[in-house]
Amino acid sequence: MPYLFTSESVSEGHPDKVADQISDALIDNFLAWDTNSKVACETLVTTGQVVLAGEVKTNTYLDVQKITRDVIKRIGYTKSEYMFEANSCGILSAIHDQSADINQGVDRAAAAEDFESKANAQGAGDQGMMFGYATRETENYMPLALDLAHKILQEMSYIRNNEPSLIPYLRPDAKSQVTIEYSDDNVPQRIDTIVVSTQHDDFDSEEAMLAKIKDDVINIVIPRVKAKLTPELQKLFTGDITHHINPTGKFVIGGPHGDTGLTGRKIIVDTYGGKGAHGGGAFSGKDPSKVDRSAAYATRHIAKNLVAAGLCDEVLVQVSYAIGVAEPCGLYVNTYGTAKVADNDGAIAAKIGEIFDMRPYAIEQRLKLRNPMYSETAAYGHMGRKNEIVKKSFKGANGEEKEVEVELFTWEKLDFVDAIKAEFAL
């Protein structure tokens, strides 16, 4: 019997995402000036106020107020009527030194002299399990419902920032949700429901407001999203889609004024939209010694390369760690019965463990995670994004400036396809 599956996304102006972006901007600035920085930074945003808290071990000093205000300004909170505005909001910093008890199991690699010694010395920054997932149903190997939910909000953000006259009333905060109908054999058949709620300027008439927003989303935003998809996916946009556009009505009060935001509260939006699994650990605000982040990227890297190599159509990869210990406690693979090789999932996991070194230091090196690459991850998902090299500029607290060339989303590279094909004789 056909079934429905739903995923949601939130915009860069959603209060939780504002918090994520501030935390990751701090991570980038710490790493830009001291690549060995150890950081766990949490952010809270509410009406007219930002609170920064966390633990840091670093050799640099940052102007955290300026960094925070720059992020808020870039997102678009630049008007006093939003009740949360870049230049006027209060910023309280309660960031302090990292616990030596936590750091001792992670920093042992600093005294080691070669790769193998460092990889064995640097233990995981915490215990826990992390998951990576990939599927063949989209070109970027992401679940379709989440991919479409992201794309709808990215298109609205592009219009708000680059073509404001097209839909002039848009404000930064927004959410989307897409429901897909699947066949018994897990193939997308059609889009069943699209939900969009967007913050907006005030209208004279609520009835006129609702009609205008619904018309613009259905007749401007969604067709622009559809036009960028493959012909196969465009066919899923049938004439019987249910649209819920701003279903509660007026949405003028939004952002941190409408709802308090916290770092790490959108972990499903950040990953696979509910497909696969999640170990529970958030990403933003954490340096790569925290395996919540680095190992989640590493398992996505494995999963994507497995599907791209043709080993399976869908796969879930899990890795787990003990705090302070380099070697993983276990590596698990589930191909959901889609494997194209004779090996069972346990045998596949054993071979994958030989191809991919999952010790934390090895992950950091393989994926270049000690570079300031994290601000770009903090909205519209950490997975399924474009791998590219960019130049980023950073300004220190003393006025010193530096430009850094950074490779983004290294875990999205298909650089292990040949090794997987060779190992499994594909």
Q: For residue 314, what are the β-bridge partners?
A: 135
From CA 228, how far away is CA 221, in angstroms rounded?
11
Closest Cα to residue 25, out of 85, 79, 72? 72
Is position 63 annotated in a ligand binding site?
no
Is position 386 annotated in a ligand binding site?
no
Closest Cα to residue 6, out of 218, 194, 186, 286? 194
Is position 122 annotated in a ligand binding site?
no
Is position 265 annotated in a ligand binding site?
yes
- Other CB atoms within a 10 A radius of the CB of residue 70 amount to 16
Is position 16 annotated in a ligand binding site?
yes
Is position 290 annotated in a ligand binding site?
yes
One-letter identity of residue 422: A
Is position 345 annotated in a ligand binding site?
no
Cβ pair 355, 416 in contact under 8 A? yes
Is position 139 annotated in a ligand binding site?
no
Is position 266 annotated in a ligand binding site?
yes
Is position 134 annotated in a ligand binding site?
no
- In angstroms, the Cα distances linking 254 to 52, 89, 172, 373, 423 are 21, 15, 8, 29, 52
Is position 412 annotated in a ligand binding site?
no
Read off the DSSP letter of residue 404.
E
Is position 171 annotated in a ligand binding site?
no
Assign 78 to helix, strand or coil.
coil
Is position 286 annotated in a ligand binding site?
yes
Rg, Å, the chain Cα set = 22
Is position 397 annotated in a ligand binding site?
no
Q: Which two tokens stand for residue 198?
A: 């967007």
Is position 98 annotated in a ligand binding site?
yes
Is position 96 annotated in a ligand binding site?
no
* Binding residue ranges: 14, 16, 42, 55, 98, 173-175, 250-251, 259, 265-266, 282, 286, 290
* Binding residue ranges for L-methionine: 55, 98, 259, 290
* Binding residue ranges for ATP: 14, 173-175, 250-251, 259, 265-266, 282, 286
* Binding residue ranges for K(+): 42
